[in-house]
Amino acid sequence: MRFSSRSLFAISLLFSFSVIAIIFATTFTPETIEYIITFNVIFLLLAIGFRLLALILWGVRIKLLSSSLGYRVGLVYAVNMVLAGLLAGTITPGQAGGEPVRVHELYRVGVKVGDASAVVIMERVLDGVVLTLMGVVIMMMAGSVWDSFSISLKILIIVAWILLVSVLLVPFLAIKYPVRMKSFLIRLVSWTVCRLSRTRFASPSLCERADTEIDNFFSSITRFTGSAGWGLVAGGVATALFWITEFLVASVILMGLGLDPYILLSFFFQIIIAIVMMIPLTPGSSGITELSTSSLYSLLVPSAMLGIFVLLWRFVTFYMNIILGSISGSLIVHRELKRRGSIESEKRMDEE
């Protein structure tokens, strides 16, 4: 069964709202109302500020990785593509829709498709490396917390971590076995072309273009371990700053509720949540994220306060994606329509 983007968007919101409603229904007490009234809005604004700073750091990472390959990508443009990708991520399993959007937007400013793909894949690799290192360090400092998790949650975390490690293997395999990997990708493209052969997307030259772009991709991956290595290092620093800033959002919300920030444990929980969100189960990982968040933070947050915390945290980290992404998406659509109009005008002038 195929779903339209609007249907997927509705399903994503429905899953999120439903789980939050269940959390509120199962934890609501008279104290909940008091917590809502006494919540310090200043901390919500501060949490939004940290979230916006994290998105800017994401744009900085794209700019640095692109610069190391010899391309100039403006910071404002990079942040705009990040926001557009977040909107696409709300309707795709595991939030995977953001990657094609960023590849497309990089291509629009002159980055070759192969190079753009390498940049986006390296983003995921850096995320994996940073999250893994942070997780290992925090596990060594707070390993006893793992024993308090349920069996089902442990299994979910292990599966998510396996998926994360598999992403880290992509550049390694591309460097170690370039011929085999290229052969695999060519076969994948050929299979895709066959599936698209009866649609308007098919093109006789598609395989030839794919061959060229795959060469560019492997070349870029190799350069990231050589001449473009500085971009990988700088991008790694930006990635670490991004995740630290992103994870501080939850601690700030906890402080707004009158609780301690629990920075160490909160970071550990959010590393787990970030990894679980990569599992392609629901559009935008909605529902799954709320469930894992409530399960983990129930160890820190009083029951009557849990629904408020999950709602506020998801507002800053998910619902804001929809708001900001819609604005960004509108700008991109307007640009594309204007570009298409210019091309059609040029064609008419040539015909005359």
Half-sphere exposure of 96 (CA within 13 A, CB side): 12
**How much is the average pLDDT of 27-38?**
86
> What are the extents of the domains in the chain?
5-161+229-329
Is the separation of the CB atoms in 57 and 238 below 8 Å? Answer: yes
d(CA 251, CA 256): 9
**How much is the average pLDDT of 102-129?**
85
**How much is the average pLDDT of 233-239?**
92
Which of 75-84, 85-94, 160-169 ranks highest by mean pLDDT? 75-84
pLDDT digits (tens, 9 = 90+) for 201-217: 444 455 555 556 666 66
d(CA 272, CA 285): 13
What's the pLDDT at 254? 94
pLDDT at 135 over 60: yes
pTM: predicted TM-score of the whole model, two decimal places: 0.81
pLDDT digits (tens, 9 = 90+) for 158-198: 776 776 676 667 666 666 666 676 676 666 656 555 554 44
Q: Band of the pLDDT at 245, cuts 50, 70, 90?
A: very high
Who contacts 291 (Cβ-Cβ below 8 Å, separation ≥6)? 19
Q: Is the dihedral of CA 268, 277, 214, 108 positive or negative?
A: negative
Q: Band of the pLDDT at 309, cuts 50, 70, 90?
A: very high
What's the pLDDT at 207? 54
Total Cβ atoms within 10 A of residue 274: 20
d(CA 301, CA 225): 44
What's the pLDDT at 200? 42
Query: Residues of the chain with pLDDT > 90: what percent?
Result: 20
**Which amino acid makes up residue 321?**
N
**How much is the average pLDDT of 97-106?**
83
What's the pLDDT at 190? 61
d(CA 128, CA 160): 11
Q: What DSSP letter does each residue of 282-297 carry, written as one string? A: SBTTTTHHHHHHHHHH
d(CA 277, CA 296): 14
Mean pLDDT of the chain: 79
Who contacts 317 (Cβ-Cβ below 8 Å, separation ≥6)? 51, 246, 249
Question: Smallest Cα–Cα separation from 249: which of 235, 273, 274, 267?
Answer: 267
Give me Rg for the CA atoms of the chain.
22
Who contacts 271 (Cβ-Cβ below 8 Å, separation ≥6)? 131, 134, 135, 138, 247
Q: What is the 3-state secondary structure (H, E, C) of 91-141?
A: CCECCCCHHHHHHHHHHHCCCCHHHHHHHHHHHHHHHHHHHHHHHHHHHHH
d(CA 321, CA 248): 17
Is the separation of the CB atoms in 32 and 23 below 8 Å? Answer: no
